[in-house]
Structures are given as structure tokens and as C-alpha cells.
Chain A
């Protein structure tokens, strides 16, 4: 009984405000004459036409997602590898730190025009832009994580003769994984921004390209559907990331809970 009530309360808490906001949006715009703010009912009705039936889902959304995936995975490979190398050596870290501080401080979107010089406006440019933005949070968080590996664990691993790849995997990567995952989460949200910007700046297809095209042709209702789709995409990717985090760091959350000794 009390479980049922708790579940009801939780779902009530989760759904009330979103429902109220949507209802408010629906009612306030119901007979809106404003050019910029078409009725929500019109926007939702247009989704089917604009994205599903026209084939835009496979022609624009899919390429965008593939570029994001490619860029993100490359950034992960690069960031984690370099991060482990830099984090493991005090000298290398001191050597690289000022340069990394500077490179990371460059706002990634300004690299769009720079990379356009090298790679034109094709897929390569967009993937490179995404890599060049995602890699910094991943790299720097990995460095921090590797640096903070527990001394006792390091000594223990040495005593047990753990070395080479298995030391790297079971000791270094494992210890640094909470920070690495934080880096992945930050990198992903920058990646989405860069995916959209690179397409808005110069492209012939993609989600960002479609949205800016609707805006330029003053197709405001279609533009709104694009904005909603992009928002939904951002939310879904963040959910996926959290799911991954739960799975990958299950041991860590358990450990932390145990250390707190049931104080929570």
C-alpha cells in the first residue's frame, strides 16, 4: 500500500509540472496570430509531415548522428590514450600543461572556419570539429583521474606483480573511470553543440542545416519542429549517457555507498 502511494506520489511529482507547462503552451498559443509563435497544435501536427514522411529522418538526422558518433568515439580514443600517457608521468604532465590550458580555453566553435580550410565542408570537417571540441574535457578529466590513483592500490598492484596491459586496465583505467565518465558526459554535450554549429555554418544536409534552412525560408512552424526535435535528441543522448554511467560505474556507486556506511 505504502509502496503504491510512494510510486503515485513520485510519478505525480515527475509529471505535473511538464504537463502543466505543455498545457500552458498549448492554451496560450491556441489562437496565436504571432508570426514567431505558431500554435503548439500546428507544430505537433507538422512533425509528421516535416520529419517522418519526407524522409528527412534518414536524409538529415541520421548523417548528423553518425558524424556525432564518429567524432565522439575518435575523441574518446584520443582523449583517454593521451590522458593516460600524460597522467602517468609527472614530467610529461608539467611539459604539456600550459599548452593544454591554452588549447582547451579556445572556444571550440571558432575551429569550424579553421578546419574548413583543411578539410573543406564535407563530413571530414564536421567530424574533425567534433573531435577537436570533445577531446579536451575527456583528456583533462582522464589526466586528473590517472593522477589521483590511490597510492595503496598502486603499491598493492606492484606487490602482486601486476604490470603491462592488465595493470593499465585493472588498475589505472578502473581507478580513473569515474573521472573519465565525467569527461565523456561533458564531451558529449559539447559534441552535440558542435554537430549543430558545423552544420549551420556550412553543410548540405543534417539536422542543424535543416533548421537553419527553415529559418532562412521563414518556415517558422517547420523551424519549431526542428527545435523540438533537437531538444529531444539532446535529452535522449543525455539519458543514454546516464544509463551507460550507471552500468559502467555500478561498482563505484556501491563502493561510495559502503564507505558512507549507510549514512544515506
Chain B
């Protein structure tokens, strides 16, 4: 006898598929409306085209940019500052987080300091960075690392605290060394939190990298935006803003991919795939 569940499953799936298809269509429609508005509003004179050039002109500027070697250098500078800063922050955050997190006394005595330092806006360090490092990459790195370090550290601390006491005791009973317990019990528990931290830090790092370029004048997309703005090249400035937005989307997508890939064994993701 065919069980009702095997009959019901395909219909439910096709309904879900239809829903997803409908959603994607609506999304495309939404984006098209957004683009059409960007073209129509300046053309109709609702906003002066000097301030908001029609989309087609921004598109033209975007095409011009793609042909410039200087633009690709700037993009490379931004990506390099972002990546190096993020990598340093993640390495520091994970190391410090594991050390503090696994030693209760350390956790107790550092909590207040972390709570105090974390909300300090990293932009407060801009003048210091300018004085000490000038417009070098190191200025950018100082800001990026400071801002993203806390995101990672706090998540790692949550993750290490989340370790199942039974699992931890079991490992101890089986005579696992301290290192082996960190490797086989703490690390897998904390990994989802670490990756959440990396995802948050990746977005913050991009914001700070571009901010540093914009305000300090370190080479990169932010600096190009500043130059375009002061030179009155409005369409070019919008084109650069669009590029930073695309970069932001790419960073988000990449971070989510990384999460899926590294956590494919994790129950939360496996459940998602099954249902």
C-alpha cells in the first residue's frame, strides 16, 4: 500500500517550488522597479539630474570605470585592506577568545574590560592612525582590525561557553588531553559561533576599510569616491558607490557560502537540507 506520505511529499515540494519561483519573480520585478525609478525620477525632474544622474549615465560611468587600470588598482587596494584586516582580526579573535574562554578565571577578570573596550567606536582611532601611519595601508589595517576583532572575540566567547558539560566530562573521563578536548569538543561546538563572528566581522571590515580610505585618503575605492565628489564627477561617484554596494553583496554571499561549506555536518544545516 502506498503510504499517504509518499504521495503527499511531491505535491508539497512542488508547491514550495512554485512559491520559491513566485518569490524569485517578485524579487526580479522589485529590482526592475527600483532601477526604473532610478532612471525615471531624475529624467522627470523630480530630483535634479546634477545630484542624481539617471541610471543610464551611471551605467555609462560604470563602463568607463571598468576600462580604467586605476579603478582596478583601487578595487584591489580596498579588497587587500579588507582581507588582511579581517584575517588578522579573525586570527587574533579566535586565539584570544579560546584562551580566555577556556580559563574561567581569565574570563571573569577580563569581562569588564571587554565590555568597556568593545563599544568604543573605531573611528575614534582615525586621528591617531593618521598621525602615526599617515595614509599607508597600516592606517586602514588599524581601524579594520580594531572594529572586527571584537565581533569575532565576543562570538567565540559565546561559543566556548556553549560547550555541553556532559560532552566535556565524557572527554575528560576518556582521558583526552587538554589539547585534544579543545580540538574535538570545544572547537566543533564553537565553530558555528566563530563563523557568525566572521560573517559579522567581514561586513564591518568592509565598512571600516572604505571609511578609512574616504576619511584618511588611503588609496582605494573610498578615496576614489572622495576625489570624484570633490571634482564634481557625480555620475562617476555614483558608479563607485554602486561598486562598493556590489562588493558588500559579494562579501555577504561569500561569508554565507563559507558558513554552509564549513558547517555542512552541523545539525542545523542538515535539517534545513532534509526538510
Contacts and interface: CB of A to CB of B under 8 A. Distances in A.
Nearest to B147: A193
B69 interface: no
B241 A110 contact: yes
Interface stretch (A14-22, A49-57, A77-85, A245-253): A14-22
Interface of A: 13-18, 21, 36, 90-91, 94-99, 101-114, 116-118, 189, 192-193, 196-197, 200-201, 208, 211-212, 214-215, 218, 220, 223, 226-227, 230-231, 234-235, 237-238
Contact of B27 (A94, A114, A208, A238): A94
B28 interface: yes
Interface residues of B, number: 59
Contacts of A99: 30-31, 34
A199 B111 CA distance: 32
Contacts of A94: 22-24, 26-27, 30
Contacts, number: 159
A116 to B, nearest CB: 7
Given A110-B210, A118-B51, A227-B125, 4 more contacts: A13-B109, A107-B244, A113-B226, A214-B127
Given A106-B248, A197-B215, A97 B119 contact: no
Given A98-B30, A197-B211, A21 B113 contact: yes
14 contacts: A94-B27, A97-B23, A106-B241, A106-B244, A107-B211, A108-B207, A113-B214, A113-B225, A193-B211, A196-B126, A215-B131, A227-B124, A227-B127, A238-B119
A91 B29 CA distance: 11
Interface of B: 22-24, 26-31, 33-34, 50-51, 108-113, 116, 118-128, 130-132, 203, 206-207, 210-211, 214-215, 222, 225-226, 228-229, 234, 237-238, 240-241, 244-249, 251-252
B119 A189 contact: yes
A114 B252 CA distance: 23
Contact of B121 (A14, A17, A106, A230): A230
Nearest to A113: B229
Contacts of A189: 119, 121
B252 A17 contact: no
Contacts of A14: 111-112
Contact of B207 (A91, A107, A234): A107
Contacts of A196: 121, 123-124, 126
A214 B128 CA distance: 11
User: Which one of B22, B111, B121, B207 has the greatest number of beta carbons of chain A within 10 Å?
Assistant: B121
A59 to B, nearest CB: 19
Contacts of A111: 241
A113 B31 contact: no
A85 to B, nearest CB: 14
Most-contacted residue by chain A among B128, B211, B234, B244 (CB, 10 A): B211
B124 A230 contact: yes
Contacts of B128: 36, 223, 227
A117 B234 contact: yes
B109 A223 contact: no
A96 B30 contact: yes
A102 B245 contact: yes
Nearest to A233: B121
B202 to A, nearest CB: 11
B210 A107 contact: yes
Question: For B51, B111, B207, which residue has the most chain A Cβ atoms within 10 angstroms?
Answer: B207
B206 A107 contact: yes
Contacts of B31: 98-99, 102
B108 A13 contact: yes
